[in-house]
Amino acid sequence: MSKLDAERIPPELRHRVPPGQTLTQKWPVLHYSGIPMFMDMSKWQFRVFGEVDHPFSLSWDEFRSLPSVRRTSDFHCVTTWSRLDNRWEGVLFATLAERAKARPQARYAMLHSFDGYYTNVPLSWLMADDVLFAWSHDEKPLSEEHGGPLRLVVPKLYAWKSAKWVGGIEFMNENKRGFWEERGYHNRGEPFLEERYSYQETEETRE
Ligand SMILES: Nc1nc2c(c(=O)[nH]1)N[C@H]1C(S)=C(S)[C@@H](COP(=O)(O)O)O[C@H]1N2
Ligand SMILES: [Mo]
**Is 152 within the bounds of a domain?**
yes
Which distant-in-sequence residues (6+ apart) come within 8 Å of 133 by Cβ? 63, 90, 91, 93, 96, 150, 151, 152, 153, 166
**Is 140 within the bounds of a domain?**
yes
Beta pairing class for 118-122 and 108-113: antiparallel
Could you give the CA distance from residue 150 to residue 164 in angstroms, rounded to a whole number?
7
Nearest to 146 by CA among 28, 22, 45: 28
41 lines ligand 1 (CB under 6 A): no
**Is 35 within the bounds of a domain?**
no
Report the separation in Å between the CA atom of 154 and the middle of ligand 2, taken as the mean of its atom positions.
13
The pTM of this model reads: 0.96
Confidence of residue 207 (pLDDT cuts 50, 70, 90): confident
CATH of the domain at 135: 3.90.420.10
Could you give the CA distance from residue 200 to residue 207 in angstroms, rounded to a whole number?
13
Condensed to tens digits (0 to 9), the pLDDT of residues 100-134 reads: 999 999 999 999 999 999 999 999 999 999 999 99
Condensed to tens digits (0 to 9), the pLDDT of residues 155-181 reads: 999 999 999 999 999 999 999 999 999
CA angle 99/143/146 to nearest 5° reads: 75
**Is 190 within the bounds of a domain?**
yes
102 lines ligand 1 (CB under 6 A): no
Instruction: Specify the amino acid at residue 183.
Output: R
**Is 38 within the bounds of a domain?**
no
Instruction: Specify the amino acid at residue 9.
Output: I
151 lines ligand 1 (CB under 6 A): no
Query: Which residue has the CA at smallest separation from atom 13 of ligand 1?
Result: 160
Query: Which residue has the CA at smallest separation from atom 20 of ligand 1?
Result: 146
**Is 26 within the bounds of a domain?**
no
**Is 33 within the bounds of a domain?**
no
Substitution candidate for ligand 1 out of 24, 25, 30 with most atoms within 8 A of CB: 30
Q: Give the total number of structural domains in the chain.
A: 1
Give the pLDDT score at 1: 53
**Is 197 within the bounds of a domain?**
yes
Contacts 24+ apart (CB under 8 A), 179-186: 179/32, 179/117, 179/118, 179/119, 180/119, 181/119, 181/120, 185/78, 185/158, 185/160, 186/158
Could you give the CA distance from residue 118 to residue 113 in angstroms, rounded to a whole number?
6
Nearest ligand atom owner, CA of 151: 1
Residue 167 domain boundaries: 43-69+87-206
Nearest to 163 by CA among 126, 191, 202, 206: 126
What is the percentage of the chain residues whose pLDDT exceeds 90? 88
